[in-house]
Amino acid sequence: MTDQKPAAGELSFTRVFDAPRELVFRCMTEPEHLTHFWGPVGVSAPLEDIIVDARPGGVFETVMVNDADGSRYPTRAVYVEVSEPERLVWTETHSRMTMTATFADLGDGRTEVHIHQTNVPEAFRSPEAQAGFLSSLDKFAAYLKTLARESGR
């Protein structure tokens, strides 16, 4: 895994997952999967609060709920690009932050996901916020392992 800060207001993260590209992409576009890993450790994303219309101009909405105190953190974004299973791009409506995720098939059932964020608000660039984001990638990896066990891989 590499994590780097390419420029002011931008963040990049790269993670390799032990799962096929098509599955990793589906997990990022289907509420039934997103509910299991969306958000950092300590928050949940209830299925009934996730809307995905994965097409250019379609919406991506989630509500993260703080597991300790019930605080709710809604997010709304609009898809700019959806190229299954290679690329997702969306822009958050409130912050104007744009997230680009590219999915590279590494063979042998592994996928490299590169996430590049632009117009990142200052609060999201703090070490604590980045650690939270990385913990969501950890949750994603754990969820993918659960799916692999369930499928007998």
pLDDT score at 148: 83
Across 15-20, average pLDDT: 97
Query: Which sign does the torsion angle of CA 131, 88, 10, 18 carry?
Result: positive
Q: What pLDDT is attached to residue 149? A: 81
Going from the C-alpha of 141 to that of each of 48, 79, 137, the distances in angstroms are 23, 24, 6
pTM: 0.91
CB atoms within 10 A of CB 115: 17
Rounded Cα–Cα distance for residues 130 and 40 (Å): 10
Eight-class DSSP state of 48: G
**How confident is residue 7, by pLDDT bands cut at 50, 70 and 90?**
low
